[in-house]
């Protein structure tokens, strides 16, 4: 999900931060992209480097030194480091959107600042270089291959040349791991030794994946704690040039996943066992939106400032709890006295779980019953936002960008859909989806997406690498309820027409997600493909945003033309420096980011 607000709101609402555990963990795992970005931004802030090569050398040193600091402070039994490799296509779509949004942010902020702002090194640095296949990542791979093994005996390292997102690599590695490092002797009573895992990296996805792993019926039981720098401490240390000298005990948040589960799971009702409760909590989080699906209907992670409305996850749990606790609704538990569940573990299935859309229909019906009123409320907040004051340390340019959907009139979509008018759902379908979109296709893809996300989070392997949700908005709750009624008894199906005719490579990924303003990070062959008249339309210099019902910039979505991965792959294959990929099929795939 990668949504900082989800984590910060969860931590602030519940007492989840714990002292650093006295006993060293059996395993320390790094979601390493988090650390790379943290160090690079700190180094670039004050570095005296005048060339990109010098800056990259400083960043490499800072990354290794900071990793050594954390390992020395934690003293784990074993260390595993995972860098993001080529992700599923659904994640690639999100990466593309984020990079284009970041390009717009840079342009907006630089236009609002005299002299460009920042040091020479800061202007040399681009976060887009932290993408598989760039020259920066190739050099970092070589550097880490030499230096990381010196930091801890037996350290294992998965670099960007291995496919998969870093957080999912971590949990696949943990699932395949055997007994804990601190001995294979079984404890009294014949139980397996307890295993403790500390993970550097803390966002919404990491929280949900840790919960899943902690209760997974096919995995070794373990306690998981997450480790991440506090932002106030990070900013202070960054003034020194890199986040060195940070004190794990005082400058980091350490969050216990057991405490997270103890805080949130009881709110889903007392009749669910912990495993089933976690499964349902993760499904509800998927409805709130993530890297792969937009939030359903009016649901939003955060409530508008000054609003009396509860944050979306709290509201959703309040609606879900009576259904889960009573055994009411249309699911298999209805009328039997058994607690209804929107999803169930399935030990006989390699997918690991089964989304019960008949049971989920009862929740969607509740959301649909209040959809008109909730949409009106959300639209009213969008039309008349409360005054916004800059956060401490924010410049005027920072403030204007943060609240872009409310403060930049050229991106306001106030007349696009008006939920106070009759027939607003027709406006919704016509205004928020590409022309000619079949509403049924939106509903099919959304239900398939819910199934895809749940399987991905449980197995840590994408059930279909090529699947993606090709729209910026979800269907309405009412439309989804009618769709589930009409298709009662049918299971969501992942469309096989999405099959790529080749294995997605770092070269294709890098080209697909890079905006024109960052083309310097591309190879000469990739730049030629980008600038070719036959492909130029896929790489716009300017674009509009979808801001309808959005309150802050990170909620907005750029309206980009479709990205034809097959076309880019074929063009790169014809380029002299291109690497050959493995053939898998014969169908086209078009990535749409409407």
Asked if the model's pLDDT at residue 592 lies above 80, the reply is no
Strand 195-200 with 27-31, pairing: parallel
Asked if the model's pLDDT at residue 179 lies above 80, the reply is no
DSSP secondary structure code for residue 158 in this structure = E
Query: What are the residue ranges of helices labelled H in 75-88?
Result: none
138-152, 351-365, 391-405 — most confident range: 138-152
The mean predicted confidence, pLDDT, of the chain is 84
pLDDT band at 189 (very low <50, low <70, confident <90, very high): very low
Structure confidence at residue 270 (pLDDT): 80
pLDDT band at 193 (very low <50, low <70, confident <90, very high): very low
- Judge contact between 468 and 591, C-beta under 8 A: yes
Asked if the model's pLDDT at residue 506 lies above 60, the reply is yes
85-94, 384-393, 448-457, range with the lowest pLDDT: 384-393
CA atoms lying within 13 Å on the CB side of residue 538: 24
Note every long-range contact of 413-420, with CB atoms under 8 Å and residues 24 or more positions apart, other chains counting: 413/546, 413/547, 413/548, 414/382, 414/383, 416/548, 417/379, 417/548, 418/379, 419/372, 419/375, 419/376, 419/378, 419/379, 420/376, 420/379
Phi, psi angles (nearest 5°) of residue 547: -120, 0
Asked if the model's pLDDT at residue 180 lies above 70, the reply is no
Q: Is 453 exposed, middle or buried (0-12, 13-18, 19+ CB in 10 A)?
A: buried
Q: For the beta carbon of residue 493, count every other beta carbon within 10 angstroms.
A: 10
Domains and CATH numbers, the chain: 4-86+132-179+193-265 (3.40.50.12390), 269-495 (no CATH)
Cβ partners under 8 Å of residue 18, min gap 6:
225, 254, 255, 256, 259
Instruction: Please choose, from the candidates 473, 479, 467, 405, the residue with its C-alpha nearest in 3D space to the C-alpha of residue 434.
Output: 473
Phi, psi angles (nearest 5°) of residue 521: -80, -5
Report the distance separating Cα 454 and Cα 283, nearest Å: 7
pLDDT band at 407 (very low <50, low <70, confident <90, very high): low
**Residue 446: in which H helix or E strand, if any?**
helix 439-459
184-193, 450-459, 535-544, 553-562, range with the lowest pLDDT: 184-193
- Judge contact between 149 and 155, C-beta under 8 A: yes
Q: How far is CA 403 from CA 390, 393, 397, 553, in A?
A: 10, 15, 10, 6
pLDDT band at 491 (very low <50, low <70, confident <90, very high): confident
Asked if the model's pLDDT at residue 243 lies above 60, the reply is no
Report angle CA 43, 527, 566 to the nearest 5 degrees.
110
pLDDT band at 352 (very low <50, low <70, confident <90, very high): confident
Quote the radius of gyration of the chain (alpha carbons, Å). Answer: 24
pLDDT band at 194 (very low <50, low <70, confident <90, very high): very low
Asked if the model's pLDDT at residue 147 lies above 60, the reply is yes
**Residue 312: in which H helix or E strand, if any?**
helix 312-326
What proportion of the chain, given as a percentage, has pLDDT over 90?
60
Instruction: Give the pair of three-digit tokens for residue 427.
Output: 């406006």
DSSP secondary structure code for residue 435 in this structure = T
Three-class secondary structure of residue 306 per DSSP: coil
Report the distance separating Cα 276 and Cα 296, nearest Å: 22
> Cα-Cα-Cα-Cα dihedral of 391, 202, 301, 12, to 10°?
-60
Cβ partners under 8 Å of residue 436, min gap 6:
none
Helices and strands in the chain: count of H runs, count of E runs: 23, 12
pLDDT band at 192 (very low <50, low <70, confident <90, very high): very low
Structure confidence at residue 309 (pLDDT): 56
Instruction: Give the pair of three-digit tokens for residue 380.
Output: 């009213």
Q: What is the mean pLDDT of residues 536-553?
A: 93
Asked if the model's pLDDT at residue 244 lies above 70, the reply is no
Report the distance separating Cα 275 and Cα 221, nearest Å: 12
Instruction: Give the pair of three-digit tokens for residue 160.
Output: 């960007």
The strand pairing partners of 80, in sequence order, are 29, 156
Report the distance separating Cα 451 and Cα 410, nearest Å: 37
Report the distance separating Cα 554 and Cα 421, nearest Å: 28
Query: What are the residue ranges of helices labelled H in 183-271?
Result: 204-215, 231-238, 248-251, 257-264
Instruction: Give the pair of three-digit tokens for residue 306.
Output: 């000054």
Furthest-apart CA atoms within the chain: distance in Å? 71
Asked if the model's pLDDT at residue 208 lies above 80, the reply is yes
Note every long-range contact of 307-316, with CB atoms under 8 Å and residues 24 or more positions apart, other chains counting: 307/381, 307/386, 309/377, 309/381, 311/9, 312/288, 313/6, 313/284, 313/285, 313/288, 316/284, 316/287, 316/288, 316/367
Instruction: Give the pair of three-digit tokens for residue 339.
Output: 């607690």
Q: What is the mean pLDDT of residues 115-142?
A: 85
Residue with tokens 């205004």: 431
11-56 pLDDT, tens digit per residue, is 667 777 788 888 999 999 999 999 999 999 888 887 888 899 999 9
* Higher per-residue pLDDT: 233 or 551: 551
Strand 545-546 with 557-558, pairing: antiparallel
Note every long-range contact of 295-299, with CB atoms under 8 Å and residues 24 or more positions apart, other chains counting: 295/474, 296/367, 296/446, 296/474, 296/475, 296/477, 296/480, 297/367, 297/371, 297/374, 297/375, 297/474, 297/475, 297/476, 297/477, 297/480, 298/371, 298/374, 298/375, 298/377, 298/378, 298/477, 298/549, 299/367
Report the distance separating Cα 558 and Cα 165, nearest Å: 23
Structure confidence at residue 117 (pLDDT): 55
């Amino acid at each position: 999900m990668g949504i900082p607000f989800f984590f910060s709101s969860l931590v602030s609402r519940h007492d989840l931060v714990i002292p650093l555990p006295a006993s060293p963990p059996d395993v320390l795992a790094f979601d390493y992209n988090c650390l790379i970005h943290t160090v690079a931004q700190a180094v670039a802030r004050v570095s005296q480097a005048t060339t990109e090569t010098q800056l990259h050398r400083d960043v490499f040193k800072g990354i290794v030194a900071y990793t050594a600091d954390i390992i020395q402070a934690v003293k784990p039994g074993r260390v595993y480091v995972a860098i993001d490799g080529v992700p599923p296509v659904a994640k690639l779509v999100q990466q593309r959107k984020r990079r284009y949004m970041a390009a717009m942010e840079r342009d907006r902020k630089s236009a609002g600042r005299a002299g460009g702002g920042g040091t020479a090194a800061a202007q040399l640095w681009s976060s887009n270089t932290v993408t598989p296949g760039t020259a920066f990542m190739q050099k970092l791979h070589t550097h880490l291959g030499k230096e990381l093994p010196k930091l801890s005996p037996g350290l294992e390292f998965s670099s960007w040349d291995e496919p998969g997102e870093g957080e999912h690599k971590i949990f696949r590695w943990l699932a395949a791991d055997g007994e804990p490092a601190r001995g294979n002797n079984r404890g009294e009573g014949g139980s397996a030794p307890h295993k403790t895992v500390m993970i550097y990296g803390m966002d919404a996805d990491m929280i949900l994946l840790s919960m899943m792993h902690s209760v997974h019926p096919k995995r070794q039981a373990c306690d998981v704690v997450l480790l991440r720098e506090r932002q106030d401490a990070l900013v202070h240390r960054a003034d020194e040039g890199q986040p060195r000298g940070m004190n794990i005990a005082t400058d980091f948040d350490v969050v216990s996943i057991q405490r997270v589960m103890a805080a949130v799971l009881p709110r889903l009702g007392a009749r669910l066992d912990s495993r089933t409760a976690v499964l349902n909590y993760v499904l509800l989080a998927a409805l709130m939106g993530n890297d792969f699906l937009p939030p359903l209907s009016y649901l939003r992670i955060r409530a508008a400032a000054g609003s009396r409305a509860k944050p979306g996850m709290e509201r959703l749990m309040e609606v879900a709890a009576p259904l889960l606790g009573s055994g009411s609704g249309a699911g298999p538990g209805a009328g039997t006295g058994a607690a209804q569940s929107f999803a169930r573990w399935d030990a006989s299935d390699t997918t690991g779980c089964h989304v019960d859309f008949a049971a989920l229909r009862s929740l969607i019906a509740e959301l649909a019953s209040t959809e008109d009123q909730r949409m009106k409320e959300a639209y009213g907040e969008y039309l008349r936002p409360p005054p916004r004051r800059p956060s401490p340390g924010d410049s005027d340019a920072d403030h204007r960008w943060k609240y872009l959907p409310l403060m930049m009139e050229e991106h306001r979509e106030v007349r696009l859909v008006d939920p106070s008018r009759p027939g607003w759902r027709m406006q919704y379908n016509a205004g928020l989806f590409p022309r000619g979109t079949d509403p049924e296709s939106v509903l099919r893809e959304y239900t398939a997406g819910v199934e895809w996300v749940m399987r991905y989070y449980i197995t840590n392997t994408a059930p279909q690498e090529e699947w993606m949700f090709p729209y910026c908005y979800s269907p309405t709750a009412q439309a989804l309820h009618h769709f589930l009624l009409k298709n009662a008894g049918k299971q969501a199906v992942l469309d096989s027409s999405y099959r790529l005719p080749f294995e997605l490579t770092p070269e294709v990924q890098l080209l697909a997600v890079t905006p024109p303003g960052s083309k310097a990070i591309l190879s000469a062959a990739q730049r030629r493909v980008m600038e070719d008249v036959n492909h130029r339309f896929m790489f716009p210099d300017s674009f509009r945003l979808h801001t309808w019902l959005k309150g802050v910039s990170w909620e907005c979505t750029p309206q980009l033309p479709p990205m034809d991965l097959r076309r880019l792959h074929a063009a790169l294959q014809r380029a002299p420096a291109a690497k050959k990929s493995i053939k898998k099929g014969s169908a086209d795939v078009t990535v749409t980011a409407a």
